[in-house]
């Protein structure tokens, strides 16, 4: 498996992977928004390749205070082989090298396998807090 930085030329393949792996596609996943995202943290958006095919992704971000992991997804035929673990480890290492003190991930309560993944990867649920969000523009999520 080879891990590398996402390039905008990967967009169609990556978007198909997100859809195939069951990730919810949001307005922020348009090519325009993704292009904008990688103008900030290009080195934290990673893809995993096997035989030249992209089999997994993680979109890392650093907002200056916290690191965030979005769109961790692995193609169904490639799951349970450590692809997500390798992607998350690499994103964490890159964040740590930048000085990120803590990394968060938002996981739906019903997403059992993702909850299981993040639990075993050392992520702790903060029972004191609930995520609050407010849409500021129609194009954002
Ligand atoms: C969650 C997901 C990214 C895990 O990817 P993966 O490459 O299969 O994960 P790994 O092989 O690195 O798994 C590491 C460990 O996580 C846990 N885990 C992973 N998938 C699991 C599952 N389906 N059920 C239970 N535990 C699971 C296991 O402890 C696993 O270790 P093991 O295989 O030795 O038992 C993948 O199932 C996926 O793409 N799901 C759909 C998209 C999604 O929900 N993404 C998360 C959004 S927050």
What is the DSSP-derived secondary structure letter of residue 124? -
Per-residue pLDDT, 137: 85
Quote the CA–CA distance of 125 and 106 in Å, as a whole number.
10
Give tens-digit pLDDT for 53-89: 999 999 999 999 999 999 999 999 999 999 999 999 9
Quick one: which H or E segment has residue 52? none
Give CA separation, 35 vs 42, 95, 104, in Å.
9, 20, 22
The span from the first CA to the last CA of the chain, in angstroms, equals 32
Give residue 140's pLDDT band: very low, low, confident or very high (50, 70, 90). Answer: low
Atom 10 in ligand 1: which residue has the minimum CA distance? 82
Task: Answer whether residue 139 shows pLDDT above 70.
Answer: no
Whether the per-residue pLDDT at 141 is higher than 80: the answer is no
Most informative mutation of 1, 16, 117, 122 for ligand 1 (most atoms within 8 A of CB): 117
Pick the CATH number of 2-120 from 3.40.920.10, 3.20.20.30, 3.90.650.10, 3.40.630.30: 3.40.630.30
**Whose C-alpha lies nearest to ligand 1, atom 23?**
113
Q: CB of 79 within 8 A of CB of 107?
A: no
- How far is Cα 49 from Cα 86, in angstroms, rounded to an integer? 11
Mutate to test the pocket of ligand 1, among 3, 18, 79 (most ligand atoms within 8 A of CB): 79
Question: Could you tell me the distance, in angstroms and rounded to a whole number, from the CA of residue 138 to the centre of ligand 1?
Answer: 32
Give the model confidence (pLDDT) of 80-137 as tens digits. Answer: 999 999 999 999 999 999 999 999 999 999 999 999 999 999 999 999 999 999 999 8
Structure pTM?
A: 0.96
Query: Is residue 114 within 8 Å of 71, Cβ to Cβ?
Result: no
Chain position carrying tokens 């991930």: 105
């Amino acid at each position: 498996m080879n891990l590398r930085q996402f390039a905008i030329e990967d967009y169609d393949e990556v978007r198909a992977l997100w859809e195939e792996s069951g990730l919810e596609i949001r307005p922020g996943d348009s090519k325009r928004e993704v292009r904008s995202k990688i103008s900030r943290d290009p080195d934290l958006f990673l893809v995993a390749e096997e035989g030249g095919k992209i089999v997994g992704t993680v979109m890392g971000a650093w907002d200056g205070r916290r690191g965030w992991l979005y769109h961790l997804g692995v193609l169904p035929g490639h799951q349970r082989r450590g692809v997500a673990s390798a992607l998350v480890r690499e994103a964490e290492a890159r964040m740590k090298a930048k000085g990120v003190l803590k990394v968060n991930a938002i996981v739906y309560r019903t997403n059992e396998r993702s909850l299981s993944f993040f639990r075993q990867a050392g992520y702790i649920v903060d029972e004191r807090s609930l995520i609050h969000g407010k849409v500021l523009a129609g194009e954002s999520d």
